[in-house]
Amino acid sequence: MQRRILLLVISGYRTISYEAAFAISGFPPIDIFIVHNRDFKIASKTCIANNQDVCLSVFKIPHPSEGSPINLVGYYKNIEDKFPVVCFTDGSKINSKVGLVLVVFQDHQFRMKGECSVFQAELLCITQAVNCIRTNENLSSNFLICSDSLSSLYALNCNSSSNRLIVKTQTNLSFPRAEVYKPSLLFEVI
């Protein structure tokens, strides 16, 4: 049944093989599609509690004009002296174990599920750093976050992202406190 439909889609002859019809059409076999769809639904239900990537619906994404741009600055000698608060972040994955750490005068360590990517760890680490600085009244509103993940920093500059962590971090960066809120994100080129 599915092969006949694929033959109509690709305008193929009935002598073409089952596998070739799928390869040419670009459609996966229905049994694989059902299993993948089921696994995706299960993962998307459980990933909110596990801090994994989720795409938000269009209605939950803030308008790009509501966010404020972040400053991406390159590393240069003694840049840390120009900011009252400096936060160092890093995320890594070793032997299918994913973790992240941030340091702001006090250490914070978090553990993530092994299925997470290094990008997710780096992004969550920046999110946790922003939350830590934002919620601590003793820390200044002018701060520097040092990260070696240029992909995470570019993702945070993207206003059209539907990734939950990116949107959450952008929202937290756009809520100013009493003083002028000037976040700067640093990347180091090695």
pLDDT, tens only, 123-167: 888 888 777 777 776 665 667 777 777 888 888 888 888 888 888
Contact yes or no for 112/83 (Cβ under 8 A): no
What's the pLDDT tens digit per position in 59-83? 666 666 666 666 676 666 676 677 7
Phi, psi dihedrals of residue 183, rounded to the nearest 5°: -75, 140
Q: What is the CA radius of gyration of the chain?
A: 22
Overall number of domains in the chain = 2
Let me know if 111 is exposed, middle or buried by CB neighbors in 10 A (0-12, 13-18, 19+).
exposed
Q: What percent of the chain has pLDDT over 70?
A: 60
Domain match, 37 and 97 both: no
Domain match, 87 and 144 both: yes
Contacts of 30 (CB under 8 A, 6+ apart): 2
Structure tokens at 173: 């960066």
Contact yes or no for 50/109 (Cβ under 8 A): no
Which range, of 97-111, 121-135, 159-173, averages the lowest pLDDT?
A: 97-111
Domain match, 76 and 122 both: yes
User: What is d(CA 125, CA 102) in angstroms, rounded to the nearest whole number?
Assistant: 6
Domain match, 66 and 109 both: yes
DSSP annotation of 81:
G
> Whole domain around residue 14: which residue ranges?
1-49
Domain match, 96 and 164 both: yes
Domain match, 83 and 177 both: yes
Domain match, 25 and 101 both: no
Domain match, 3 and 73 both: no
Structure tokens at 47: 């990933």
Residue predicted with more confidence, 110 or 17: 17
For the CA atoms of 60, 116, 108, 55, the dihedral, rounded to the nearest 10 degrees, stands at 0
User: What is the pLDDT confidence band of residue 54, given thresholds at 50, 70 and 90?
Assistant: low
DSSP annotation of 154:
H
Domain match, 18 and 108 both: no
Domain match, 153 and 63 both: yes
Q: Which residues pair with 183 in a beta bridge?
A: 143
User: What is d(CA 75, CA 188) in angstroms, rounded to the nearest whole number?
Assistant: 5
Domain match, 62 and 8 both: no
Domain match, 80 and 152 both: yes
